[in-house]
Structure 1
């Protein structure tokens, strides 16, 4: 249990907060994340949370929290929480529905995919401000030359593949994604993307959204300036 040095007689002490006032990220009106940390509510102590809203096939991108574990609770809809066990080298996929949870240990690589529309998840952390390393930043900020040399890949192909990743994604695919439209993917195609789990109907529909991603205040900074 963390030790609190809060002066509970102070006129600045906070006991309540409206998460709608702190939007961490917005892709569109169906896919966005509100955040609560000690920055917004100074009596929180060693806890914080993300209020996550997703539509079908949208993904909270692969990432790690190097200073916090994460408990993902499904409020409505359905999602698959996927984690890589660094000890067994296994990809584990946990479908969750309302009332169910999946736990992500501190520092483990993971992501969440909504499998129905109107999915609402609550991610609870055991840190006042969790740190966050998104996969999009790892990919776009590591030189293609280094990736190609390290993994014996074609550098030109690596550059071409990663070129569209120009900013932190947070919720993917990006709203301007064209890949699946170009290949004519069926809107109701079923994808066997979860090994050892029943196939999930991903309904690949990527409408255009004019909104640009918005990064919220006082959350998940790790010595990186978002563009």
Structure 2
């Protein structure tokens, strides 16, 4: 990835504020979606970025790795089981985390998150200006079925049939009926040129309708958009 210059804090174009709803990374539905923040949104950021993740019970941020960053997952509300494979011990680690608890995921480690409560809100913080990821759905669908079958002594027809429904990057699973092909939102430069492009996504993106008790606790969206 090309290096980004250090921010010029005295520049008239220096940005110190950003509304995360203006960079939707992925939306499965109104209660399961991910917003994003990187140096492409806020040009004064140092070596940090984040994903703002909303999940209901049973929804999964699919298995993946971040090839360019370590990740710290902080639970704001709800509960999630955050799982990772330690490549040094070949051990699967599962951590049930609630509000105020964190799980650290070193760079390049295979991991995934499963919500165990409705209204789960996670903040994934990265030590990179732009988070990158390699998703399990892409590895499964882009590796030829014959390679899987030959490498592991499997029946190729069965492998092909098993992976056939995976036609896109899943990101938040399981997919809804008819939502097999998905992809993250592209970056759109922040500022006035962004608005016409983002307006086209209005039907795709809506803030979740959390129940009144949830909002009364100060969670969810404190203002209309």
Short-chain TM bin: 0.7 to 0.9
Partner of 1:110: 111
* Aligned: 1:71 with 2:57: no
Deviations 1:134-167 (A, max 9, x none): 0000000000001100111000000000000000
Change (3 A) 1:164 1:214: closer
Check conservation: 1:26, 1:213, Cα contact below 8 A. Answer: no
Equivalences for residues 46-61 of structure 1 within 5 A: 46-61=47-62
Check conservation: 1:70, 1:103, Cα contact below 8 A. Answer: yes
Partner of 1:218: 187
Partner of 1:44: 45
Q: Displacement, 1:52?
A: 0.2
Aligned residues: 186
User: In structure 2, the residue corresponding to 1:38 is in which secondary structure?
Assistant: coil
Equivalences for residues 36-185 of structure 1 within 5 A: 36-176=37-177
Q: Displacement, 1:3?
A: 10
Give structure 1 stretches of 5+ with no counterpart. Answer: 178-209, 220-227
Moved more, 4-13 or 158-167: 4-13
Q: Deviating runs (4+, > 6 A) in structure 1?
A: none
User: In structure 2, the residue corresponding to 1:61 is in which secondary structure?
Assistant: strand
Check conservation: 1:84, 1:109, Cα contact below 8 A. Answer: yes
Change (3 A) 1:119 1:148: same
- Could you state the TM-score of these two structures normalised by the residue count of structure 1? 0.78
Q: Displacement, 1:5?
A: 2.6
Give structure 2 stretches of 5+ with no counterpart. Answer: 189-225
Q: Displacement, 1:211?
A: 11
User: In structure 2, the residue corresponding to 1:80 is in which secondary structure?
Assistant: strand
- Tell me how far apart the structure 2 counterparts of residues 147 and 5 of structure 1 sit (CA, whole Å): 44
- Tell me how far apart the structure 1 counterparts of residues 112 and 6 of structure 2 sit (CA, whole Å): 34
- Tell me how far apart the structure 2 counterparts of residues 71 and 6 of structure 1 sit (CA, whole Å): 24
Q: Displacement, 1:214?
A: 5.7
Check conservation: 2:35, 2:51, Cα contact below 8 A. Answer: yes
Partner of 1:199: none
Partner of 1:16: 17
Change (3 A) 1:213 1:147: closer
Partner of 1:25: 26
Q: Displacement, 1:213?
A: 4.4
RMSD: 2.0
- Tell me how far apart the structure 2 counterparts of residues 150 and 133 of structure 1 sit (CA, whole Å): 21
- Tell me how far apart the structure 1 counterparts of residues 97 and 72 of structure 2 sit (CA, whole Å): 12
- Tell me how far apart the structure 2 counterparts of residues 14 and 212 of structure 1 sit (CA, whole Å): 35
